[in-house]
Amino acid sequence: MAANPPSLLNATCPVNVSDHERIVLGHGSGGKLTAALIADTFLPAFANPILERMDDQAVVEFGPERLAFTTDSFVVTPIFFPGGDIGSLAVHGTVNDLAMAGARPLYLAAAFILEEGLAREDLRRVVASMGQAARDCGVQVVTGDTKVVNRGQADRIFITTTGVGLVPAGVTVSANRARPGDHILLSGTMGDHGMAILSQREGLEFEAAIASDTAPLYPLVAEMLAAAGREPGGTDAIRCLRDPTRGGLATSLHEIAASSGVAMRVRQQAIPVRETVASACELLGIDPLYVANEGKLVAVVAPEASERVLAAMCAHPLGRGACRIGEVAAAARAQVLLETEIGGTRLLDTLFHEQLPRIC
């Protein structure tokens, strides 16, 4: 393996996961098993330093500019849910992965795997929603592909969206730049997307329906970068950005901790969770910190810039509930520490098995 080894795996994978000789749902969880699958199977086959950075997007030199490049398959079920559908989700998820590199999203590719028998009207709705989401994000779907498989060999519709964007000169946002003393900011409530999907799937009814938070985050990121400004060395005062999707906030914090070799200390009481989401989580025995979000971000920011950035977030419609949830600390090993409501501190581990399959 080349330079820049994925320390993520050393830090978060103490158990032996090579026992699994068949794929299990946990391999798609975004947690330990996914990390092990990537380390065991994908990284050796594709060995290159860009992939080994293990970011959610690749940033590659491209003439005078840098190109950001990211791909995601969407297999969410149901395909229509409160607050969105698989089409808008596929656009938002991909432009958000670009935005987390500080990149301006430009173009999308969309590949469809359709199950024989899918209603044309459902496809039309999904695709219209993708088109609307793309226009809202200022991106264009410029190429695509369609495959149809026999009935029973897929589940209605799977969409793979791939995005390219431009990283403005000088932008240095990356998961490996968190330093002790940095502040950890969160843009809003946790768990809305995953619990919206799960509530609909399980037929749960709450007094107030839970809606997905699916939304494009680049406009918020642009405001944050402008407010933060540069440090004396010329680097961005915003050090890391992540959208806590599959695996939730706990997983995003772990990824930053592992990539930067630091501890992330967060306060449970500071992490906003809607009351309906909290109730649904309690009912189903799920921890909202592991539940997917599709319109939220976590930022690690130099302490001097933290107040300015938080003000910029609160001034933006997608950051209205923004708050500081903790700080980065030095640590002998990468870890995530949660100060609980009763005053204790516990380690937040990464997911091992799949908690919520097919939520994105």
- Of residues 73-92, those binding a second copy (CB under 8 A): 73-75
Q: Which of residues 337-356 bind a second copy (CB under 8 A)?
A: 354
**Which strand ranges, in their side-by-side order, compose the sheet holding 335-339?**
238-242, 298-301, 183-186, 323-329, 263-267, 335-339, 345-347
Q: What gap in Å lies between CA 268 and CA 228, rounded to an integer?
A: 26
Q: Which is nearer to a second copy, 216 or 319 (CB)?
A: 216
Q: Compute CA distances 124 → 35, 86, 127, 200, whole Å.
A: 35, 12, 5, 22
CB of 343 to a second copy, least distance (A): 38
- When asked if residue 9 is in the footprint of a second copy (CB under 8 A), the reply is no
Contact in structure between 264 and 184 (CB atoms under 8 Å): yes
- When asked if residue 269 is in the footprint of a second copy (CB under 8 A), the reply is no
- When asked if residue 270 is in the footprint of a second copy (CB under 8 A), the reply is no
CB of 106 to a second copy, least distance (A): 8
- Contact pattern from residue 17 through residue 56 relative to a second copy, giving x for each residue in contact according to CB under 8 A and a dash for the rest: ---xxxxxxxxx-----x--xx--xx-xxxxx-xx---xx
Q: What gap in Å lies between CA 323 and CA 187, rounded to an integer?
A: 7
- When asked if residue 15 is in the footprint of a second copy (CB under 8 A), the reply is no
Number of C-beta neighbours around residue 5 at 10 A? 14
Residue entry with tokens 């320390």 = 7
Alpha-carbon Rg for the chain, nearest whole angstrom, is 19
Contact in structure between 214 and 193 (CB atoms under 8 Å): yes
- The dihedral of CA 100, 102, 104, 108: what is its sign? negative
Q: Which stretch binds a second copy (CB under 8 A): 72-80, 234-242, 281-289, 342-350?
A: 72-80
Taking CB under 8 A as the criterion, the residue among 14, 120, 233, 285 binding a second copy is 120
Closest CA to 90 of 130, 53, 63, 50: 130
- When asked if residue 118 is in the footprint of a second copy (CB under 8 A), the reply is yes
CB of 310 to a second copy, least distance (A): 30
- When asked if residue 121 is in the footprint of a second copy (CB under 8 A), the reply is yes
CB of 357 to a second copy, least distance (A): 7
Q: Which of residues 163-202 bind a second copy (CB under 8 A)?
A: 164
Q: Which stretch binds a second copy (CB under 8 A): 67-75, 204-212, 250-258, 272-280?
A: 67-75
Q: What gap in Å lies between CA 143 and CA 11, rounded to an integer?
A: 39
Q: Which of residues 148-167 bind a second copy (CB under 8 A)?
A: 148-150, 152-155, 158, 160, 162, 164
- When asked if residue 2 is in the footprint of a second copy (CB under 8 A), the reply is no
CB of 294 to a second copy, least distance (A): 15
